[in-house]
Amino acid sequence: MDLGLTGKQVFITGGSVGIGLAVAKAFAREGAAVAIGARNKERVETEAANIAREFGVKTLGITMDVNKPEDIEQGRLIIEKEFGGIDILINNAGSGTEEKVMDTPDEKWYAIWDLHVMSAIRTTRAFVPYMKKRGGGVILNTASICATQPLWYEPIYNTTKAALVMLDKCLANELVGDNIRVNTISPGLVLTPDWWKTAGILAEKEGITAQEYLDNLAHDLAPIDRFASPEEVAETFVFMASEKSSYTTGSNFFVDGGWLNTI
């Protein structure tokens, strides 16, 4: 299926590992030029070079911390110089949390709010003008099933991802007249390096292997009885950014293996 993404220019935050990296590769496979942003300079530049070599498309690896407005502006300037702008923005940077509401300081709330919500607002402000000049574009935000069905141990993550879903709806209504579609994708269990790290810590406490911990978790939470691969989730991103999804905006799509216990 031709998704009509050849020649499109895409910017992905949190693009050097996990879901973000899989999304970058999926767009490159479709013939899009890809810019990825991440904090680790060596990793983001290496992965950008690997994508260019594997798929034969133009890539950029941009060292940036999306919690810093000045880094977003610097990224915008680099992309303007090398790409002239973008057609598709993927706000993917994020991190899980672990805390209790009653004893977590304000500083942690502010930091994760900046990471999940304000970074998406700032990148949108930075790149929507290019989309308007090109006659339209697409913004996709990575939320989580936890925005709708929260996990008890990460209230900040749950709350900020829920806010990101609401931001999606507001932006979609605001930008629809400019032919800019905005949607959110909410994954469930996705086997990223972060999950392997977490599983290693928690499995040791239970006296089992990391693989056993992950298998048990999938069995308990996902009717499909397994984690998704980042590559499986990435396919939803390329479809939602494509011409095949031209009538979809302001929606939140779950990629969760049946975990969500509501309709």
Mind giving me the DSSP string for 95-119?
------GGG--HHHHHHHHIIIIIH
Q: What CA–CA distance (Å, rounded) separates 152 from 158? A: 9
Query: What pTM does this model have?
Result: 0.96
pLDDT in tens, 199-236: 888 888 899 999 999 999 999 999 999 999 999 999 99
Write out the two tokens for 146: 């936890």
Give the residue numbers marked as catalytic.
157
**Nearest CA among 239, 130, 116 for reference residue 167:** 116
**Contact indicator for 128, 182 with CB cutoff of 8 Å:** no
Tens-place pLDDT, residues 214-223: 999 999 999 9
Domains and CATH numbers, the chain: 9-190+229-255 (3.40.50.720), 191-227 (no CATH)
Do residues 33 and 58 lie in contact, with contact meaning Cβ atoms separated by under 8 Å?
yes
Average pLDDT over residues 8-20: 98
Contact of 187 with 145, CB cutoff 8 Å: yes
- In this prediction, residue 194 has a pLDDT band, given cuts at 50, 70 and 90, of confident
Residue 46 has what DSSP assignment? H
Q: What is the DSSP letter of 70?
A: H
